[in-house]
Structure 1
Amino acid sequence: MDPLTALAVLAAGLGGGIVITAIGAGSLVTFPILLAVGLPPVVANVSNTIGLVPGNISGTWGYRHELVGKRRLVIGVAATTAIGAVGGAVLLLAVPSEAFSRLAPWLILLAATLVGVQPLISGGLRRRALRRGEAPRDAHPGLPAPLAWVSAVIGVYGGYFGAGQGVMLVAFLALGLRERLQTVNALKNVAVLSANVVATLIFVWIAPVDWPAVALLAVGSVVGGWLGAIIGRRLPGPVFRVLVVLFGHVVSIQLLVTA
């Protein structure tokens, strides 16, 4: 790997770590760059999942205060997402790589669109709660059964591809839980970490991995995840959201045109 390519992958890890913690769509930054530097789609996806784990850890740690007193929710989200991620990782390796190559642009387009519409979904959910006279709540004793199923299904997506997984979770957790948005975001980080760790344990044994790319992503994502936790509290989310949506749509359209 030449120095310029290495720098691009390192920067991708930094940006991906920031975005995955602050918004939940870090793979929209990292995955296209891995494709751009020449990695095959499945290798890029596998290496991306493994390389972002350190950033997931630092980002989750940065949001640890929002999870105080939420032990049952944390366990519920982490466990159900992990179970689903096993199926997603196996699916990625079982389906021919050509099929994933054709599907990847549409997955990126879906994830980018979800990032854009997530505020509308969350706003609608808050208005519905107000119409029903539901007061804000401090905590929920555990993960409700419907949300457990949703979390597992999203975990399948996370193990298979992952970009936008956090956005999906934020939308559904905001619907089913009476928690502050920052707490929901912290739970999202736990879920993404859980899915990526489980997928990584499978990928390192039986999947094609570009280890230099993984190492560079890991270094960048650790710093990015830590910065994302800080930025997620201090800067307006719309700024990052617009950039991610634009980036994701441009990349997906480019992949569709060149396919």
Structure 2
Amino acid sequence: MTMLVMGAVCIGFASVIGGATGFGAALMATPAMLMVGFDVPEVVFVNLVAGLVTRLNMAYQLRNQINWRRVALLGGGSLPGAWLGAVTLNMLPEQYLKPAAGALVMLCGIAMTLPVRTTTPRNPPAAAQALTGVVGGYLATTTSLNGPPPVLLLMRARVPPLSFIADLAGYFIAANITAVGILWIRDEITESMIWPRLPIFVVAAVVGNLVGLSIARRLPAEVFRTAVIVLVIAAGAVTLAAG
């Protein structure tokens, strides 16, 4: 019971941050749940399902802000990446996988601080969007940390906050469905991961996400950008340490 409550608190708090910035729920929930005592496969599965459910609601609310072509390229790219991640998951020692993921996340955060040539929004090249989806898909099935690659891409493109959140919501829906489906096909999901914990975790995620989204609507663009960068670097550091 204690682990169940602690897990719900971790997911709920992380989802507030995810709702406010458009991502980050898995980044914050993963190290917290690992420290509470959950196993990596369950943490990955819970994060993917919670992210999918919360992003469905978010995408509906922000549907007029979504760039569907960009979402299609990012989501489509996640398919081969997720499959490759699932295939190689059991080949990668867990004690090295988490620190490597944490270091990658931190590098993404640092890259966001680098100067951008223009301050006006632009659309990244199609090839860059598809490749970003591949990297995100790979991270989805290995660590559930599939947010930093598209976040870096959209931040460098200076996408406005609500469009940023909307596009990420569409991406997460596509990428998480793909990742969960592949894990299911490969028998990586057990019955104990689904009941009784998953429904409680999903409810906590939905409530936290609604609170976070109400915060996002009030954040100025520069405050939003700074919050995202700080979150990425901090989450990467925590994941690196937890690994």
Q: TM-score range by the shorter chain?
A: 0.7 to 0.9
CA displacement at 1:191 relative to structure 2: 0.9
Q: 2:8 aligns with which of 3, 6, 10?
A: 10
Q: Percent sequence identity over matched residues?
A: 20
**Structure 2 residue aligned with 1:133:** none
Q: Say whether residues 1:78 and 2:64 are aligned partners.
A: no
**Structure 2 residue aligned with 1:43:** 42
TM-score (norm 1): 0.74
C-alpha RMSD of the superposition: 3.0
Pick the structure with greater CA Rg.
1
CA distance in 2, matches of 1:18, 1:55: 11
**Structure 2 residue aligned with 1:189:** 169
Q: 1:154 aligns with which of 135, 142, 154?
A: 135
Task: Look up the equivalent residue of 1:187 and give its one-letter code.
Answer: D
Provide structure 1 residue ranges, at least 5 long, that are not aligned to the other structure.
68-72, 131-135
CA distance in 2, matches of 1:22, 1:64: 17
Q: 1:199 aligns with which of 173, 179, 184?
A: 179
Using a 3 Å threshold, how does the CA distance of structure 1 residues 185 and 243 change in structure 2: closer, same or farther?
closer
CA displacement at 1:45 relative to structure 2: 1.5
Using a 3 Å threshold, how does the CA distance of structure 1 residues 91 and 100 change in structure 2: closer, same or farther?
farther
Using a 3 Å threshold, how does the CA distance of structure 1 residues 226 and 154 change in structure 2: closer, same or farther?
farther
Q: Say whether residues 1:59 and 2:67 are aligned partners.
A: no
CA distance in 2, matches of 1:46, 1:199: 9
CA displacement at 1:116 relative to structure 2: 5.5
Which stretches of structure 1, 4 residues or longer, exceed 4 Å deviation after superposition? none
Please tell me whether the aligned partners of residues 105 and 253 of structure 1 are also in contact (alpha carbons under 8 angstroms): yes
Q: Say whether residues 1:168 and 2:156 are aligned partners.
A: no
Q: Say whether residues 1:227 and 2:211 are aligned partners.
A: yes
Task: Look up the equivalent residue of 1:50 and give its one-letter code.
Answer: V
Please tell me whether the aligned partners of residues 20 and 225 of structure 1 are also in contact (alpha carbons under 8 angstroms): yes
Using a 3 Å threshold, how does the CA distance of structure 1 residues 180 and 254 change in structure 2: closer, same or farther?
closer
CA displacement at 1:10 relative to structure 2: 1.1
Using a 3 Å threshold, how does the CA distance of structure 1 residues 101 and 56 change in structure 2: closer, same or farther?
farther
Please tell me whether the aligned partners of residues 66 and 186 of structure 1 are also in contact (alpha carbons under 8 angstroms): yes
